[in-house]
Amino acid sequence: MILPADYCTIPQAAELCGVERTTMWNWVKAGIVEAFITPGGHHRIPRAAVEKLLITAPYPIKKPKRAILIVDDDPFILDTFKKRLDRDGFIVYTASDGFTAGLKVLQKKPDLILLDLFMDGIDGFEVCRAIKQNPDLKSIIVIAMTGHHSPENRTAILKEGADDYLPKTVGFSTVLKCVNSFFRTREVTNEQHV
């Protein structure tokens, strides 16, 4: 999940943690959550405090939903993957071309992208390169997928910064395992840095 800038408002922190605003406000008042007051009198919570809270909350909190962007020019794949990922509790966005994908990445800041390599116009290689060269976006996980599986395509997309590569011939269960594996790894990494 991408957290806003370096600081969150109380409503933003509450939404990220899946709790009511009043709960977050009570945690701030009780000193459970680190916060400071701006010169204008508004409370702000440091990003690191929200990340820590997601791990060490005073009682179990609902983990925020992960956002996934599916980029593919095949309507069947877009529809099928969207329905399956929706059912598994993800927030799902779709794009059918590289240009729309670029806009959605900037607007939605997904946690992970399932990226088709070969599309008309801007292809998956260009999309991946643009994401991984942007300091504000490079932490987004990119899993490249293609129906044109070859060692050359795999090597080329990994050089562009993709985090993984899957042929489209693998089943959805393999895709879901790969997605969940990246999210588990990211959670463990975040826990180690808190």
Residue 63's identity, in one-letter code, is: K
Q: What is the pLDDT of residues 60-103, one digit of tens each?
A: 555 567 899 999 999 999 999 999 998 888 899 999 999 999 99
Confidence of residue 192 (pLDDT cuts 50, 70, 90): very low
Does the pLDDT value for residue 59 go beyond 80? no
Write the DSSP symbol of residue 33. S
Task: Give the domains, in start order, of the chain with CATH numbers.
Answer: 7-56 (1.10.1660.10), 67-192 (3.40.50.2300)
Global model pTM greater than 0.85: no
What pLDDT sits at residue 145?
A: 94
Mean pLDDT across the stretch 10-28? 82
32/125: higher pLDDT: 125
What pLDDT is stored for residue 2 in this prediction?
Answer: 41
Question: Among 79, 84, 155, 80, which Cα is nearest to 117's?
Answer: 155
Output the pLDDT for position 57: 65
- Kindly tell me if the per-residue pLDDT of 114 is higher than 80: yes
Determine the Cα–Cα distance for residues 42 and 101; give it in Å rounded to an integer. Answer: 35
Q: What is the pLDDT of residues 133-187, one digit of tens each?
A: 999 999 999 999 998 889 999 999 999 999 999 998 888 888 988 998 888 776 6
Q: How confident is the model at residue 3 (pLDDT cuts 50, 70, 90)?
A: very low
What is the per-residue pLDDT for 187?
62
The DSSP code sequence of 103-144 is HHHHHH--SEEEEES--SSS-HHHHHHHHHHSTTTTTSEEEE
Task: Name the pLDDT band for 25 (thresholds 50, 70, 90).
Answer: confident
